[in-house]
Amino acid sequence: MAAKKKIEYTEDKIKTLSSLEHIRLRTGMYIGRTGSGAHYDDGIYILVKEVIDNGIDEFIMGHGDRINVSIEDDMVTIRDFGRGIPLGKVVDCVSKINTGAKYNDDVFQFSVGLNGVGTKAVNALSTYFLVRSHRDGKFVEAEFERGNLVREEKGKTKEPNGTFVAFSPDPDIFKKYKFNTDHLARRLRFYAYLNPQLKIWFNGELYHCKGGLLDLIRDESQYEKIYPPFHYTDKTLEFAFTHTNRFSEEYYSFVNGQFTSDGGTHLSAFREGLLRGINDYASKKFSGDDVREGVLGAVAIRLKEPIFESQTKNKLGNSEIRSDLVAQISQAVSDSLHRNTAEAKKLISKIEETQKLRKELNSVKKLARERSKSVSIRIPQLKDCKHNYNRAKNKGLESQIFITEGQSAAGSLVSCRDANTQAIFTLKGKPLNVCDLKRDALYKNVETYNLMRALNIEENIDNLRYNHVILATDADVDGLHIRNLMITFFLRFFEGLVRNGHLKILETPLFRVRNKKETIYCYSEEERKNALKKLGRGAEITRFKGLGEISPGEFKDFISKENMRLSQVNVHGDHSIPEILSFYMGKNSPDRRDFIMDNLVLDAEMLN
């Protein structure tokens, strides 16, 4: 055995990085995930947010009521009309960590950016970054490349006070990124809801709101509200809520104008305060599940020293505020119900109906469990993996489950999967169309009940067993129908699983084009044509009709970490899920028939 090479630990091994070099080296510490722009919390949107936050803080302090945002190709420009950065500190404020006015409560009392990092991270992670501060007839402009100052200019200006920033994210850090304007528009709408009277212009479109969170509740969810939303606001707390007929609860939470996608102390306090306030008003002891099913709520607080559980500020961790916040919310909810008895009556009626249905459902669940035990203790259609997902402990992030149909496809997957992280659930045929069914139908149907058991979502999605739920169906008509039935199942009863980014579709090749020297797998007609050009006319073309036709050796490559192609199932905030499901998956209707005829596409191979 060869002796280990000794490495000396001396002074010359110690490295000192500049603050911006450290940001580039340890990007995740500062902005969380990098991503490609497909997810709402991907890094490129955090960069935009960090710059806008400065303008929001200025507005909160009474300086400037307008922010202009534009994105063209990969260049982002943001202009606020606040006081402008003090001219002698422009370069330091965008390049030196822990430099800024937000450590001073006299300047910013309820600031979003409290870590002195935000704009510096934008600078460090951009190929090009420009900042220009206008202040009392003078300006300072500084230009950077990957965090390095390349030009500084000073002079006089007629521009109104404020700060202009332009930047282009670095493609070496954000691989193949692309801005999704829907994600940006959603973030800007949130800013508008939380800051009435602020005007935000994005690529020429105005985002402006006067009703605060009440407008958010009315605009962001297309579900029918059972009663007009209740709304409460004071200097440091605002909330609004109503009930819908959906099965899950949905919340929007904010701290100092910052959307906290993972909630935290303020959201848990809101949920508990809501329960206590309703029980106090009704003199009942409703369960949390009965009260919160179908709740659509939003809560925003202002806090001098927020403690976030991550650098990206997605979750609030100030546990010391919880008890006071619960008491304040509980009292406000109870008072609101006493003042609005007609709406309160509808709320209590909704909760009592949910309570009744839950008791009936529990009986159905009990029968389903007894039935499954009599058949098998284990789930017969599941081939589990070794490492499961645990969101609370941030473990098993790579865990996957393929939901496929038929033994031939499952056989190929089983023989080539990574048993550490890849599980398989095999459907025995076309699953139940649950579009117009109630929840109890899921427990009465063996297939859907076993699927819920496999995913560990019988009660809710909190203990989801796999981070990636992947639909692996054939690319033919039957396969696409099964895919749609499964998407309907998740959207109808487990919408949060979809909204949280867990549901994916496995893209499998439609063609194999090969000659004696090379094999190319093609996922579209366009890729097939390009492969033929490359390999020549004599190349052999194979059309895969189903997953079962793909050999285990080939399948192993398609589902490998390096080569697997997945498409995420997304839900856009401005889409009404009940209406969409009813149109495409509900009972046959003339409207759907007309839509199919107007959009009919014929397969050339079928015509031949």
Q: Are 252 and 297 in contact (CB under 8 A)?
A: yes
Are residues 348 and 302 located together in one domain of the fold? yes
pLDDT surpasses 60 at 190: yes
For residues 394 and 360, the answer to whether their CB atoms sit within 8 Å is no
Asked whether residue 11 is assigned to any structural domain, the reply reads no
Q: Does residue 184 fall inside a structural domain?
A: yes
Tell which of 183, 207, 231 closes a domain: 207
> What pLDDT shows up at residue 575?
57
Is 328 part of a structural domain of the chain? yes
Percent of the chain past pLDDT 70, that is, above it, reads 88
Enter the tokens of residue 109: 């009392």
Residues 490 and 530 in one domain: no
Q: How far apart are CA 465 and CA 467, in angstroms?
A: 7
Residue 590 pLDDT > 90, yes or no? no
Percent of the chain with pLDDT over 90: 42
Mean pLDDT of the chain: 85
What pLDDT, on a 0 to 100 scale, did the predictor assign at position 1? 47
Question: Interior CA angle at 126 toward 572 and 69, to 5°?
Answer: 50
CA separation for the pair 109, 104 (Å, rounded): 8
Q: How confident is the model at residue 10 (pLDDT cuts 50, 70, 90)?
A: low
For residues 268 and 224, the model is more confident at 268
Q: How confident is the model at residue 284 (pLDDT cuts 50, 70, 90)?
A: very high
Whole-model pTM: value is 0.68
CATH number for the domain spanning 556: value is 3.40.50.670
Q: What is the DSSP letter of 466?
A: -
Q: What DSSP designation does 320 have?
A: G
Average pLDDT over residues 586-602: 70
Neighbours of 237 (CB within 10 A): 19
* Predicted pLDDT of residue 104: 46
Contact present, 125 and 117 (Cβ < 8 Å) = no
Among 66-70, 210-214, 367-371, the minimum mean pLDDT is found in 367-371
360 within a domain of the structure (yes/no): no
Task: Please check the confidence at residue 366 and state whether its pLDDT lies above 60.
Answer: yes
pLDDT computed for residue 108 by the predictor: 44
Q: Is the per-residue pLDDT at 349 higher than 60?
A: yes
Torsion sign, CA atoms 529, 532, 538, 542:
negative
Contacts of 421 (CB under 8 A, 6+ apart): 385, 386, 387, 396, 398, 399, 400
Burial class (CB within 10 angstroms; exposed 0-12, middle 13-18, buried 19+) of 508: buried
Residue 118, pLDDT score? 80
* Within-domain flag for 80: yes
Domain of residue 232 covers 213-355
Question: What is the CATH number for 26?
Answer: 3.30.565.10
Q: Are 271 and 296 in contact (CB under 8 A)?
A: no
pLDDT of residue 11: 54
Instruction: Give the H or E element holding residue 154.
Output: strand 148-156
In this structure, are 428 and 455 located in the same domain? yes
Distance from C-alpha of 485 to C-alpha of 190, rounded to nearest angstrom? 33
Mapping DSSP to helix (H, G, I), strand (E, B) and coil, where does residue 50 land? helix
Please state the rounded mean pLDDT for residues 508-521.
Answer: 86
Beta-sheet pairing, 468-472 with 400-405: parallel
Cα 470 to chain centroid, rounded? 17
How confident is the model over 346-352, as a mean pLDDT?
A: 95
Q: What is the structure's pLDDT at 115?
A: 44
The token pair that represents 602 in the structure block: 């014929």
Comparing 261-270, 477-486, 558-567, which segment has the lowest mean pLDDT? 558-567
Q: Looking at the structure, do residues 268 and 395 belong to the same domain, yes or no?
A: no
Which amino acid, residue 19? S
Q: Answer for the pair 318, 301: CB distance below 8 angstroms, yes or no.
A: no
Predicted local distance difference test score (pLDDT) of residue 470: 94
Determine the angle formed by the axes of helices 341-375 and 265-282, rounding to 10 degrees.
110
- State residue 324's pLDDT score: 96
Q: Which residues of 440-469 are buried (b: 16+ CB within 10 A; e: fewer)?
A: bebbebbbbbbbbbbbbbeeebeebbbbbb
Q: What is the pLDDT of residue 30?
A: 77
Check residue 396 and give its pLDDT. 87
Beta bridge partners of 79: 68, 164
Question: Strand 230-233's sheet: what is its strand order?
Answer: 230-233, 237-243, 295-301, 250-255, 258-259
Which amino acid makes up residue 421?
Answer: T
Choose the final residue of a domain: 207, 225, 254.
Answer: 207
- 75-113: per-residue pLDDT in tens? 999 999 999 999 999 999 998 875 555 444 544 445 554
**Residue 259 and residue 174 share a domain:** no
Instruction: Look at the block and give the residue holding tokens 């080939």.
Output: 554
**Is 6 part of any domain?**
no
> Which ranges constitute the DSSP H helices of 172-241?
181-194, 213-220
- Per-residue model confidence (pLDDT) at position 434: 87
Closest CA to 78 of 143, 140, 145, 168: 168
Task: Read off the pLDDT band of 8 (50, 70, 90).
Answer: low
- pLDDT of 7 reads 57
Tell me whether residue 73 is in a domain: yes
Last residue of a domain, one of 167, 187, 207: 207
Which helix or strand (DSSP H or E) is residue 593 part of? helix 590-598
What are the backbone angles phi and psi of residue 151, rounded to the nearest 5°?
Answer: -160, 140
Which of these ranges, 19-28, 334-343, 482-491, has the smallest mean pLDDT?
Answer: 19-28
Retrieve residue 269's tokens: 């306090």
CATH of the domain at 265: 3.30.230.10
Of 4-8, 240-244, 262-266, where does the model show the most confidence? 240-244
Sign of CA dihedral 28, 33, 36, 37: negative
Based on the domain organization, do 80 and 149 belong to the same domain? yes
- Both tokens of 294, joined, read 């179908």
Most confident range, picked from 284-288, 372-376, 378-382, 470-474:
284-288
Q: For tokens 């909330």, what's the residue?
A: 239
Banded model confidence at residue 469, pLDDT cuts 50, 70, 90: very high
Give the pLDDT of residue 13.
Answer: 46
Tokens of 303: 């806090």
433 plus 491 within the same structural domain: yes
For residues 45 and 159, membership in a common domain is answered with yes
List, edge to edge, every strand of the sheet that includes 503-507. Answer: 382-383, 422-427, 400-405, 468-472, 503-507, 565-568
Among 548, 568, 565, 549, which Cα is nearest to 557's? 565
Type of residue found at 518: E
Contact 174, 36 (CB under 8 A): yes
Note whether 455 and 597 are same-domain residues. yes
**Helix (H), strand (E) counts: the chain:** 21, 22
- Per-residue pLDDT at 116 exceeds 50: no
Question: pLDDT digit string (tens) for 122-165?
Answer: 999 999 999 999 999 999 999 999 999 999 999 999 999 999 99
Q: For residue 168, name the pLDDT band (cuts at 50, 70, 90).
A: very high
304 with 314, same domain: the answer is: yes
In a shared domain, residues 56 and 120: yes
d(CA 77, CA 191): 17
Q: What's the token pair of residue 77?
A: 């420009």
- Residue 594 in tokens: 């007309």
CA 354 from centroid of its chain's CA atoms:
28
90: its two tokens: 């422009």
Q: Is residue 573 part of a domain?
A: yes
**Are both 335 and 442 inside the same structural domain?**
no
Q: Structurally, how many domains does the chain consist of?
A: 4
